Amino acid sequence: MNKTVIWVHGDCLSPDGNPALQEYPNTPAIWVWDDALIEEWQLSLKRIAFIYECLLELPVTIRRGNVASEILAFAQEYHANKVVTSDSPSPRFQDICSEIKGFVELKVLQTEPFFDDGDRIEDLRSFSRYWKVAQKYVL
């Protein structure tokens, strides 16, 4: 029997735009605060609070630590042999996916592109750079 859990990550925090949450309603979902990423990127308390407020609108269990380890522990708690998530351009995402694939099936769903192919944001650590490109699509 195929049991599934959902991994929600920072590149798809929308309750309506996350294909994993849409395709697998009422499925246990997890968010993991990535301690290493928070330290490496020196995320501000303001940004962490913003992400947390987004998480409050999602049906997720919130944990922190090593992302792959926490996802695998969550899957084990639910006796799941499959993790579903949405895609991400992040190299870190690819590394986490590789770790997960060694233990359970991983299904990565494609998301609707938010930007045209011509728009590229080089430094995703800066919200102002992101917003400079994003505002023409949302306003």
pLDDT tens digits along 42-82? 899 999 999 999 999 999 999 999 999 999 999 999 999 99
SS3 percent helix, strand, coil of the chain, rounded to 5, is 40, 20, 40
How many alpha carbons fall within 13 Å on the CB side of residue 120? 4
Q: What is the pTM of this model?
A: 0.81
Q: Right CATH number for 4-138 from 3.50.50.60, 3.40.50.1100, 3.40.50.620, 3.40.50.80? A: 3.40.50.620
